[in-house]
Amino acid sequence: MTTTVRPPVSSAVPAPALAPTRAALQHELAVVRARGGRVAFVPTMGALHEGHASLVRVARDHVGADGAVVVSIFVNPLQFGEGEDLDRYPRTLDADLALCGAEGVDVVFAPAVDEVYPGGDPQVSVEPGPLATVLEGASRPGHFRGVLTVVAKLFGLVQPDVAVFGQKDYQQLALVRRMAADLCLPVEVVGAETVREADGLALSSRNRYLDTEQRRLAVVLSRALTAARDHASYGVDAARQAAATVLAEAPQVEVDYLVVTEADLADVDPARTDAREGRVLVAARLGATRLIDNLPLELRVPGAPSFPA
Ligand code: PAF
């Protein structure tokens, strides 16, 4: 017996099936797979916003009208450290279901903690390797073990053909790609572009923690990244310095890291002279809220010819 619930929605909006249990999820997946299309998966922790809506649209683009889009909503305790915001993380299931309905999601998997971890914390977890010890991993020990473990479990439950993650969590995206490659998981991992407010602030479920003044200051992150990108043709140091100068305008914003890296998050290789895409990444604290953001930028030695058009 399954426990799928169909939430009430207006007749104009198709209701996604809400599966609160593994059994209900398997039932719904059997229904959508019987249609013969591919399955695209968008894992989330809920508190959905326009950024998540764009992930759902990318997912739909990958599987088309014949395919199915599955969204999971699960605030994963395993990826929160001591003193982090697990308890106050926003939980907005009704609004999330409305967004999923409006975006044509087929199935929403919204399990309770003991449905995902029936025996408590798992004895076997995914060791994320050295990439998880830098940047976010340096400030949040254990975070990526928790992320990759739940993503591996969700991949096992949903068995998607495609999974879509936001580029805003760039290190997470890189690690999920690495896990899929290293563990031979049969899923295509797609990175979707960051969605921004009109002033440039990257959308994040945590933005709702910001008070009016913090919200005004938060825009300095994307301005700093844009300055780095705009100065990249003068070299990595100039790019980083340009970003640091912008961040210094808002000393209330406590910068955790500001780095320019290769696209795979490795340190920039000073011996390389070829033009290529790199990344500039920033993390900062505004009061109790930690925000992260990143942008692609061009890596090349100063004076070298630009990318071909
Ligand atoms: O990016 C998130 O929302 C979470 O880290 C994820 C991928 C859903 C795993 O809990």
**Helices 170-182 and 143-158: crossing angle, nearest 10°?**
60
Residue 7 and residue 20: Cα distance in Å, rounded? Answer: 12
Task: Please state the φ and ψ torsions of residue 103, each to the nearest 5 degrees.
Answer: -95, 5
Looking at residue 26, what is its pLDDT? Answer: 98
Q: 44 CB under 6 A from ligand 1? A: yes
Q: Read off the pLDDT band of 128 (50, 70, 90).
A: very high
The torsion of the CA quartet 87, 22, 49, 68, rounded to 10 degrees, works out to 170
Fold agreement between 17-192 and 205-299: no
Nearest residue (by CA) to ligand 1, atom 2, is 44
Atom number, ligand 1, closest to the C-alpha of residue 205? 3
C-alpha of residue 212 to centroid of ligand 1, in Å: 27
Q: 171 CB under 6 A from ligand 1? A: no
**CATH number for the domain running over 17-192:** 3.40.50.620
Is 253 in contact with 221 (CB distance < 8 Å)?
Answer: yes
Is 113 in contact with 77 (CB distance < 8 Å)?
Answer: yes
* Domain ranges within the chain, ordered by starting residue: 17-192, 205-299
Q: 169 CB under 6 A from ligand 1? A: yes
**Which tens digits make up the pLDDT trace of 261-300?**
999 999 999 899 899 999 999 999 999 999 999 999 999 8
Instruction: Strands of 150-275 (E only): list them.
Output: 162-166, 188-192, 254-262
Kindly report the pTM of this predicted structure: 0.93
Please give the CATH topology (third level) of the domain spanning 205-299. Answer: Pantoate--beta-alanine Ligase; Chain: A,domain 2 (3.30.1300)
Q: 146 CB under 6 A from ligand 1? A: no
Task: Please state the φ and ψ torsions of residue 291, each to the nearest 5 degrees.
Answer: -120, 145
Q: Read off the pLDDT band of 259 (50, 70, 90).
A: very high
Q: 71 CB under 6 A from ligand 1? A: no
Nearest residue (by CA) to ligand 1, atom 8, is 44
Q: Which helix (H) or strand (E) holds 43?
A: strand 39-44
Q: Is the pLDDT of residue 7 over 80?
A: no
Q: Across all residues in the chain, what is the average pLDDT? A: 94
**Which tens digits make up the pLDDT trace of 9-54?**
445 556 899 999 999 999 999 999 999 999 999 999 999 999 999 9
C-alpha of residue 42 to centroid of ligand 1, in Å: 9
**Ligand 1 pocket test target in 147, 173, 194, 207 with most atoms within 8 Å of CB:** 147
**Residues labelled as active-site residues:** 52
Atom number, ligand 1, closest to the C-alpha of residue 79? 10
